[in-house]
């Protein structure tokens, strides 16, 4: 299956450092952090952790719909549909109607800060339990 063609360029910063498209090592590190936050062994991160880490680092809010292929786009029957109204403008996915670039950057920064706080809190818990130094 092809990758989504309209993915975002990724986060602008990670842990305060600038970054572009995340490398597999960065995704793995983030997946380990997610496992640790969820009180699991970081060396035993799951595919779900990996996928969540990739989405977070790519700036993808939710998984997008599957890409259209010949198999799933085949028309089995045609309908004669008459529109009941002229419709309305649909919102762009992932962007609120009046959300600006600044608001998007602030939201991304807040999400990254929350991740960092949860990770540090978990590390402190493990230090108190004698799990890591």
pLDDT in tens, 92-123: 655 555 667 788 888 888 988 999 999 999 99
Q: Assign 23 a pLDDT band (cuts: 50, 70, 90).
A: confident
CA distance 38 to 75: 44
Contact in structure between 30 and 57 (CB atoms under 8 Å): yes
Question: Model-level pTM greater than 0.85?
Answer: no
pLDDT in tens, 33-60: 999 999 999 999 999 999 999 888 887 7
DSSP H or E stretch at residue 69: none
């Amino acid at each position: 299956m092809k990758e989504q063609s309209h993915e975002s360029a990724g986060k602008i910063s990670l842990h305060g450092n600038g970054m572009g498209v995340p490398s597999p090592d960065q995704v793995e590190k983030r997946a380990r952090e997610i496992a640790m936050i969820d009180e699991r062994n970081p060396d035993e991160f799951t595919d779900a952790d990996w996928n969540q880490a990739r989405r977070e680092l790519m700036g993808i809010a939710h998984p997008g719909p599957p890409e259209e292929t010949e198999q799933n786009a085949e028309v089995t029957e045609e309908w004669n549909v008459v529109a009941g109204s002229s419709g309305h403008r649909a919102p762009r996915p992932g962007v609120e109607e009046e959300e600006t670039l600044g608001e998007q950057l602030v939201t991304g920064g807040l999400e990254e800060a929350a991740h960092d706080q949860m990770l540090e809190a978990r590390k402190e818990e493990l230090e108190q339990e004698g799990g890591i130094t």
